[in-house]
Amino acid sequence: MVDVLNVASETTATPRSSTLKRALSQPATVFGVILVAAHLFLALFSPLIAPHDSSALVGAPLLRPSWEFLMGTDQIGRDYFSRIIEGGRIALLVSFCGVAIALAVGTILGVLAGYVGGRFDEIIMRFVDAMMSIPEIILIAILTLALGKDIWALIPVVAAVYCWGVVRVMRAKTISLSTLDFVRAAELRGETRLAIILREILPNLTGLLGVELAVRVSSAVLRISALSFLGLGISQPTPDWGLMVQEAMGVVFTDPWFLLLPAVMLSTLIIGVNFMVDGFARAFGIASTEL
């Protein structure tokens, strides 16, 4: 997975327009933005774009791509194009909602632990260490088996898994911010801890939060697809890229596009997010390190 840590020294705030121009000056970043935008467009408008219901039997099994069925039909006669774009919509919905909850909870705990410190910090971080000692995919599998494979059950699973990494990143950033002059000046003015957190610390976390959101959404999409491939994630008839890859293994030698299409969709989303995040992280003075 990818963790994000701030390694830049504190500098004068850069206007958002200049930061955006600097990020988009890199061709790799633009390429990543285009890939992510294309996936978001398909996900948002899939109900309008899809020619058929993703679960409806609309033709003979294993039809080759044609004008009627742009990507053919699957093993039981469902339109593969409709299932591909609906699968992306579901993957992004589950991942985004789960990671958004993880970011909200993780930011609150991380900022409080980093700024308040003391025994509260010790308790929070020992619990975080214990949770992060469990491999992500194993924890997701256990929670999925306990809560079910419904997409609304997967959202709290994603939140529970990714929250602890967010706590560590936000705590580290908060500790570095707490030593800076503008925070010390607020303390000398007699402002409360809550006021300092809301007015001084949180506004300086926005860039890091955006990078964290993108990185962890892409990681969650990959993990959910991997679980579906193993039969532990989203189940039929709900479309999912990992489940489609698993089903295509039986016909990979006769109809290889059933394997290639969901694999290409998944890989282009992950590649696009990584390129986009790398460019914007550099623009915000944040370095991302792959672990």
Output the tens digit of pLDDT for each of the chain's 291 residues: 444 434 333 333 445 567 677 777 888 889 999 999 999 999 899 888 888 888 888 888 888 888 888 888 888 889 899 999 998 898 899 999 999 999 999 999 999 999 988 899 999 999 999 998 988 778 877 888 888 777 888 899 899 999 999 999 999 999 999 888 888 898 888 888 888 888 889 988 888 898 889 889 988 898 888 888 887 777 778 888 888 888 888 888 888 888 889 999 999 999 999 898 888 888 777 654 433
What confidence score (pLDDT) does residue 13 get? 41
DSSP label at residue 79: B
What confidence score (pLDDT) does residue 14 get? 44
Q: With respect to residue 116, please indicate whether it lies within any of the assigned structural domains.
A: yes
Are the C-beta atoms of residues 224 and 242 closer than 8 Å to each other?
yes
Q: With respect to residue 14, please indicate whether it lies within any of the assigned structural domains.
A: no
Token digits of residue 23: 């990020």
Q: With respect to residue 20, please indicate whether it lies within any of the assigned structural domains.
A: no
Q: What are phi and psi of 288, to 5 degrees?
A: -105, 130
Range of the domain at 251: 2-8+40-290
Q: With respect to residue 55, please indicate whether it lies within any of the assigned structural domains.
A: yes
What confidence score (pLDDT) does residue 228 get? 83
Q: How far apart are CA 188 and CA 195, in angstroms?
A: 13
What confidence score (pLDDT) does residue 16 get? 59
Q: How far apart are CA 157 and CA 187, in angstroms?
A: 38
Q: With respect to residue 62, please indicate whether it lies within any of the assigned structural domains.
A: yes
> How deeply is 285 buried, as exposed, middle or buried, from its count of CB atoms within 10 A (0-12, 13-18, 19+)?
middle
Name residues whose C-beta falls within 8 Å of residue 190's C-beta, 6 or more positions apart in sequence.
none
**CATH number for the domain harbouring residue 162:** 1.10.3720.10
For the chain, the domain total comes to: 1
Q: With respect to residue 142, please indicate whether it lies within any of the assigned structural domains.
A: yes
Q: With respect to residue 253, please indicate whether it lies within any of the assigned structural domains.
A: yes
Q: With respect to residue 29, please indicate whether it lies within any of the assigned structural domains.
A: no
Question: Dihedral angle at the C-alpha atoms of 209, 5, 14, 32, nearest 10 degrees?
Answer: -70
The residue type found at 179 is T
- C-alpha distances (whole Å) from 36 to each of 115, 187, 262 are 35, 42, 16
